[in-house]
Structure 1
Amino acid sequence: MKSEAAGLPEQPSLTNEQYIDLYKAMIIPRLIEDKMLILLRQGRISKWFSGYGQEAVSVGTSLAMNEDEFICTMHRNLGVFTSRKVPLNKLFAQFQGKLEGFTKGRDRSFHFGSKEHKIVGMISHLGPQLGLADGLALGHLIDGDQKVAMVYTGDGGASEGDFHEALNVASVWGLPVIFVIENNQWGLSTPSREQFNFDSFTVKGPAYGMEAYSVDGNDIIEVYRTTRALTDSMRSNPRPVILECKTFRIRGHEEASGTKYYPEGLIEEWTTKDPLKRFEAFLIENNITNEKEMQSMQAEVKKHIADELDVADSYPVIQFDEEREFRDLFAPFDNEEVHPSSDKVEELRMIDAIHSGLTQAMEAHPELVLMGQDIADYGGVFKATDGLMQKFGKARVRNTPLCEAAILGTGLGLSIVGKKSMVEMQFADFVTEGFTQIVNNLAKIHWRWGQNADVVVRMPTGAGVAAGPFHSQSNEAWFTHTPGLKVVYPSNPADAKGLLLQAFRDPNPVMFFEHKGLYRSETGEVPTEYYTVPFGRASIVKAGSAATLVTYGMGVHKSMDIVRELDADVEVIDLRTLVPWDYETIATSVRKTGRLILVSEDVRSGGFINDISARVGEELFTHLDAPIVHVTSLDTPIPFASPLEGGFLPWNRLKEKLEMLLEY
């Protein structure tokens, strides 16, 4: 069994003891597979993604890593979990959807991670874990650790845009990531020839400026020795590498889908290449062990599996606990206010207040890394990060390729290794390129398996500057609808700085919206020293008794203009944060005024203020003396020409609506 991968660093030789260890590591996932297929037929687990016949890939690559190095897994990497000695009773409890599993019954099969075992599991979208590996490696690189991150993808999953973005970022930044491509010939029922138009993923290497190797994924020795040679080399010479492991998926994508789409004879052909049988033949042929000893090792593993399954079976069926579901949504955070150490203030524009907040956050949190397009030398398109690279260095203030998904994933990877990150969207509209990472990874990861996502996503947003439908959208409701995210939207310089500094203190993902129209038009006194503004605490901008007006962002200024013009006795409330939002302040005001008008630059359908309206209508109906009034933009995309944009926005309708409410 000799590696055919050309151009590799020198590969290690193996002792007989190492061969035996490899064999023991191989039989564990195989024998668990045998047991799980029985449990599936018995209805004791609900789904199974088989790695039968692919064990050499998971076992060989994972054992070539150091135990303190992270591995990002996929569907068929049971061998990673067993090689990392994850307790089998806890693993089986995970498969059974029990509280003792890694996700407390909230997710299935291998959709979880274990920081203790340095494993980061997948989500169903297949590609996002690639960007996470970039973040893990970046954290090691910044700290000067000689460590490698490993991530798996399938040949089908490699068609995702995440694959391109993650490899591109890793290459540009010289990140020590080994991208293992399990080329098992099929993506569910789709053969490789319908997924990509090349024979080997090694052709991808030159295109990304990185090394690429291909090995026989059914040869455990070749997989292990090749991976070991690469990881040893990458620790002293950090760089990304592609490792293609050619193998075959003997069973279905998952058991329910079957294998009827395979051409006749294909399974039989690959069965002769079974990695376990091949390795057993090698061990016997070279007098390393014998059949009796192998049977003894298998019997020992079978007993261990049975014992651990008994433990998992003893755990009770999980019961719903509403308090627990909410408690686990966010990592714990003491949302107290930090007061400035002096009374010194300075008159700042909103953009300058944000710049001051970023500067003080970088000073307060040495582990904080800023990432975004053009944010380094150039200082960002709005100059929020101007001069920060010169002050804190290129390692912490990083220009990124146009790879929003990979960079958001990188932020999550940095969080897993104990760092904080900020990702600046050049415009809030561009966040759609990284939507999966935000709503499926950042938002859900703590609820799923207890890993926090210490990532702040800055979102320059809003209309009024004649920028058209792709630079002006108010898309905050996309994220207020997603449990697990905090959403912040300041209206003035002092709040912008204080809320931003609070966002960096909070270990949870924060979507931080900044209205572009306020960057340089709005000035105010801002404390010079470090301070924070707590989340979920609205501000009463103006007291009143005739009606309650609730708004945020630009709406605060437009509403105050109208209230002053009418000289109206209206209480104006600035929400400041949308998740969490301050119900008590609104409720107290509505009980006093009996009238409520909700103002938002967002469109009416699906807008965040509808949530406020629904709760107030349900809980405070008897206190209302008039219908709740909504003032929003039109339910159309945002037009470019100024006269059209003016008609789209709500500001020209606000005065009439407020007068109608006051006269009701």
Structure 2
Amino acid sequence: MTYNISQLPTRLIMDLYKNMLKSRMIEEKMLLLLRQGKISKWFSGIGQEAIAVGVTLAINNDEYILPMHRNLGVFISRNVPLHRLFAQWQGKPSGFTKGRDRSFHFGSQYHKIIGMISHLGPQMGVANGIALASVLKGENKVTAVFTGEGGTSEGDFHEALNVASVWNLPVIFCVENNGYGLSTPTSEQFKCENIADKGLGYGMESHIVEGNNITEVYNTVKKLADDLRSHPRPVLLEFKTFRMRGHEEASGTKYVPEAMMDFWSTKDPLLNFQKYLIEKHILSEALIKQIVNEISNDINKNLDIVSSEPAIIADVKTELHDVYKSFDFEHIKPTTEVNDIRFIDAISEALKQSMEHHNNLIIMGQDIAEYGGVFKITEGFVEAFGKDRVRNTPICESTIVEAAMGLSIAGMKSVVEMQFADFAASGFNPIVNYLAKSHYRWGQNADVVIRMPCGAGVGAGPFHSQTNEAWFTKTPGLKVVYPAFPYDAKGLLNTAINDPNPVLFFEHKALYRSIKQDVPTNYYTLPFGKAAMLREGKDISIISYGAAVHWVLETLDNNPQIHADVIDLRTLQPLDTATIYASVKKTGKAIILQEDSLFGGIANDISALIMEHCFSYLDAPVKRVGSLETPIPFIQQLEAQYLAKNNFEKELKALLNF
């Protein structure tokens, strides 16, 4: 290998060497502990150390870096305390995830390191969000993110590069191409000769780098990072390298031809650089021995610290507490000045007043800028707040959710509009696996609201009519809001934006222009987890939410002889069980109406909760009413047949007569 150290100070040269050596020695120690059963898993980066070390030292310590599970050199180069790394891998209390996750599935805001999740692709979109925050704040910083050649096959790779290019984000996409995704060779992953060739399709600068040459890695990234700070744009770097051990230790390397292993062993990044430094009289055998002893002592000292640390004691209260970031709700009361406005106007008003209330709030979605969104909710927002804060996105729900996560990591708020709630399916992975789990895993909240225009009754068919709240009420870490009236929609949306946790905010399309109400003109908030008692009666408890609430009220208006408690849940997570239980204990009968098809819906859980907590008060079985177990049809007569609205009155009367 040819090394270029002419412009590098000796101290930096030694840091490059020592950090590679330290990474290698820690890995070798971990492999020993793995065989001893003291750690459960190890993903080796032996043979790839130059990339992690070179990239990390080439950017500033206050710039975010998003590594993979083989990039130990990132953590070493950012001086993450070894005892905390060892505790993480052994599941001890001082680890970064308190035993809740393993390997490098964590981050550290102090070190500006954001770890991966097992779904490899999302972190590239998260890097975009961090870089976007840097641009909006005028910080002139770069963000570096790692993935492997296998990860480039994921749709997130395409979406992230596309958005980064369209938005001119200063992201360095670092692809470690070691020839295999687990055992699948690159020839079975993609047809182009080099991953770097893919940059052309995004109008993106790209380079191929010798990933085992530490000075080529450092010099390339350093030059690019310096330029990107003043000329923001993304760059795709393909590092040619090789992983000398299996995907993880159980995998082995039998699938690799022996000749290939022999070839890459001659390109060892550590040993070749060490040999070169000896030739240049920067290193000597004596100095190497001294450095090895210092690192060995450091490793053993920190392992001793962790060994003496007590094991984690499981505590239910602690586990439940850490699912969400604490939120001190501030109740801002409405004024007496009101306007009679539609549901859709209340949503728009809440967004606008929240944008005025939070100068770090960004709105993202398809067609939301000049066009104002397909429902015209953000019409006029570009003129009021500018295109930096009201951002059109490509059709790429997944990476925009990821970008929202990145904005949160960088201290900003965001509202993502799903054009239709159905389309959240394309962003499902980052919602349920990244946003929902980050605070529980390592204390990083996701300050993100996802607006979900949903529901049937408008003849939109199977792909624009779902009310898919049950996809998300099942996932700990998410909050789910589903108002039925303009007053609630405005107050709850303001609260959702204030809440530092991820919120799915469902807005029924059929209510947008059909429901009007006096709504306070000022900025106000309403608490989560507080249902509304719309009517009171002794005969039965009716529990519902969203458009179905209006079906209930219509039914009761047509049957004035029925005196019922009508509970509008308003939020589904958190759920106001206290109001439900108190009502059922009073009436002795309960019926739950949801628009969603019945099986797997939230009505099932509410029914079970009532049975468990109010059984002795019941005079009849709890009744659930939902729509047909079919996709939602388009034509009016089929859609009308599908909806639970048709069956509710019959089921209500049957339960009353039980």
TM-score range, shorter chain: over 0.9
Select 1:104's aligned residue among 90, 98, 122. 98
| Other-structure match for 1:8 | none
| Other-structure match for 1:7 | none
1:323 to 1:116, Cα distance in 2 relative to 1, 3 A: same
3-state secondary structure, aligned to 2:375 = coil
Please identify runs of 4+ aligned residues in structure 1 that moved more than 3 A: 1-4
Instruction: Tell me, in whole angstroms, the C-alpha distance in 2 between the residues paired with 1:102 and 1:75.
Output: 15
| Other-structure match for 2:408 | 415
How do 1:169-318 residues align onto structure 2 when only pairs under 5 Å count?
169-318=163-312
1:49 aligns with 2:43: yes
1:387 maps to a residue whose letter is G
| Other-structure match for 1:596 | 590
1:123 shift after superposition: 0.4
Instruction: Tell me, in whole angstroms, the C-alpha distance in 2 between the residues paired with 1:250 and 1:417.
Output: 35
2:651 maps to a residue whose letter is K
1:16 shift after superposition: 2.3
1:337 shift after superposition: 2.2
Q: How many residues align?
A: 657
Q: Which moved more, 1:635-644 or 1:260-269?
A: 260-269
Select 1:363's aligned residue among 346, 356, 372. 356
CA RMSD of aligned residues (A): 1.1
Q: Deviations over 1:294-343 (max 9, x none)?
A: 12111101110110111111111212110011000000101342212x31
Instruction: Tell me, in whole angstroms, the C-alpha distance in 1 between the residues paired with 2:577 and 2:108.
Output: 37
Select 1:436's aligned residue among 426, 429, 434. 429
| Other-structure match for 1:72 | 66
Instruction: Tell me, in whole angstroms, the C-alpha distance in 2 between the residues paired with 1:291 and 1:465.
Output: 78
1:349 aligns with 2:342: yes
Instruction: Tell me, in whole angstroms, the C-alpha distance in 2 between the residues paired with 1:599 and 1:338.
Output: 31
1:3 shift after superposition: 7.9
Q: Deviations over 1:458-510 (max 9, x none)?
A: 00000011111000011100000000000000001000000000001100000
How do 1:510-525 residues align onto structure 2 when only pairs under 5 Å count?
510-525=503-518
2:629 maps to a residue whose letter is D
Q: Deviations over 1:75-116 (max 9, x none)?
A: 111000111111100100000011211000000100000011
1:530 maps to a residue whose letter is Y
Select 2:641's aligned residue among 644, 647, 651. 647
3-state secondary structure, aligned to 1:413 = helix
| Other-structure match for 1:129 | 123
1:560 aligns with 2:553: yes
Which runs of 5 or more structure 1 residues have no equivalent in the other structure? 5-10
| Other-structure match for 1:551 | 544
1:281 to 1:12, Cα distance in 2 relative to 1, 3 A: closer
3-state secondary structure, aligned to 1:374 = coil
| Other-structure match for 1:485 | 478
Select 2:532's aligned residue among 520, 526, 539. 539
1:26 aligns with 2:20: yes
Which runs of 5 or more structure 2 residues have no equivalent in the other structure? none
| Other-structure match for 1:59 | 53
Q: Deviations over 1:176-198 (max 9, x none)?
A: 00000000110001011011112
Instruction: Tell me, in whole angstroms, the C-alpha distance in 2 between the residues paired with 1:288 and 1:31.
Output: 21
1:363 maps to a residue whose letter is E
1:264 shift after superposition: 2.2
1:415 maps to a residue whose letter is S
TM-score normalised over the length of structure 1? 0.98
3-state secondary structure, aligned to 1:117 = coil
Q: Deviations over 1:387-418 (max 9, x none)?
A: 11110000000000011111000000000010
1:606 maps to a residue whose letter is G
1:263 shift after superposition: 1.2
3-state secondary structure, aligned to 1:167 = helix
> In percent, how many aligned pairs have the same letter?
58
Instruction: Tell me, in whole angstroms, the C-alpha distance in 1 between the residues paired with 2:98 and 2:14.
Output: 35
Does the CA contact (< 8 Å) of 1:458 and 1:513 recur in 2? yes
Does the CA contact (< 8 Å) of 1:12 and 1:229 recur in 2? no
3-state secondary structure, aligned to 2:136 = helix
1:377 maps to a residue whose letter is E
1:487 to 1:384, Cα distance in 2 relative to 1, 3 A: same
TM-score normalised over the length of structure 2? 0.99
3-state secondary structure, aligned to 1:227 = helix
Does the CA contact (< 8 Å) of 1:3 and 1:226 recur in 2? no
Q: Deviations over 1:315-374 (max 9, x none)?
A: 11212110011000000101342212x311111100000000000100110000000000
Instruction: Tell me, in whole angstroms, the C-alpha distance in 1 between the residues paired with 2:194 and 2:286.
Output: 39
Select 2:606's aligned residue among 592, 595, 612. 612
2:106 maps to a residue whose letter is F
1:457 shift after superposition: 0.1
1:205 shift after superposition: 1.6
